[in-house]
Structure 1
Amino acid sequence: MRSLHSILLVDDDETTNFLNKFFVKQLDPDLEVEIAVNGQEALNYLENLSPDHAGGMIVLDINMPVVNGWEFLNAFESKFPEETHQKWVIVMLTAINSEEAISKALAHPRVTDTAQKPLSDLKFRALINKHF
């Protein structure tokens, strides 16, 4: 089983990012947590990582300005090699508990899991334990 070294939070809501980072740091103060406020910032972050970066978890909101979650996924798939794809667990965030949204997200080949907003320390713990 892989170990978790970093989390990339991708959401345009500053409060959500602040709380999510707080929850993650409560679980593991040594975990690297980065924030991107849209999909383009997340893509830029990933492009600038060294090739030996271990990867981790991307917590990706669906609805964002500039580049939304779906656009990010398509760009991630086309811009990065399979080796990079394998390094990241992508969790798609949904604001509503809709079977349609969850099914669409899980149908994407790069989405590993979904989670409903708001997240909490318990939800993060469950996601980390499930995938790492």
Structure 2
Amino acid sequence: MSRTEVLIIDDDPGVLFYHELMVKESGLSEKPLTFNNAEKALHYINSKRFEDINLLIFLDLNMPKVSGWELLDTLTKGNFKNIDQVIIVTSSLSLSDKAKAKEYKLVKNFWEKPLTEKNCKSLMDS
């Protein structure tokens, strides 16, 4: 039986801290993993590629060096089978960003920052 790991990817340390707290408080995960850039997250995701583990990823879009969009492109092209879902958590209210997110099969939701305990609990109900 596979287990699920929660990954939070955001370049803002305050957001990482708060989102980690919301994930823990909701009971979604006792030990979510945080990454302050997409490159570190991709390295970790690659290391888990063939393990019996599912990944739930909370992803910011606007990050320096490698954006959330670029990470999504890499994950899509790499055909990662253990990614359960990606949830975009962003400050962007752009309708074009919401429409673009729908083009990715991995993306299940598009939420405005900040992540809330209610958001996290809704994932446990589905």
- TM (normalized to structure 2)? 0.85
User: Aligned equivalents of 2:111 and 2:35: distance in 1?
Assistant: 18
Moved more, 117-126 or 67-76: 117-126
* CA distance in 2: counterparts of 1:10 and 1:30, whole angstroms: 15
Q: Deviations over 1:31-58 (max 9, x none)?
A: 3311111111110011112622321310
Q: Secondary structure at the match of 1:107?
A: coil
Equivalent residues of 1:7, 1:31 under 8 A apart: no
Q: Distance in 1 between matches of 2:97 and 2:45?
A: 25
Question: Within 2, Cα distance between the matches of 1:30 and 1:8?
Answer: 10
Q: Which runs of 5+ in 2 are unaligned?
A: none
Alpha-carbon distance change, 82 to 10 in structure 1, aligned in 2, over 3 angstroms: closer
CA distance in 1, matches of 2:80, 2:107: 14
Matches within 5 A, 1:39-118: 39-49=38-48, 51-79=50-78, 81-84=79-82, 87-118=83-114
Kindly provide the amino acid, as one letter, of the partner of residue 62 in structure 1: L
Shift of 1:30: 5.3
CA distance in 2, matches of 1:89, 1:63: 19
Look up the equivalent residue of 1:106 and give its one-letter code: K
Q: Select 1:127's aligned residue among 105, 123, 126.
A: 123
- Structure 1 stretches of at least 4 aligned residues deviating more than 3 Å after TM superposition: 29-32
Query: CA contact under 8 A between 1:5 and 1:32: conserved in structure 2?
Result: no
Once the two structures are TM-superposed, the CA of residue 82 in structure 1 deviates from its matched residue by 4.8
Q: Aligned pair in 2 of structure 1 residues 124, 55: CA closer, same or farther (>3 Å)? A: same
| Partner residue in 1 for 2:32 | 33
In 2: Cα distance, 1:108 partner to 1:29 partner: 24
TM-score, scaled relative to structure 1: 0.82
RMSD, aligned α-carbons: 2.3
Q: Decide which structure has greater helix share.
A: 1
The DSSP-based 3-state class of the residue aligned with 2:18 is: helix
**Is the contact made by 2:3 and 2:52 (CA closer than 8 Å) also made in structure 1?**
no
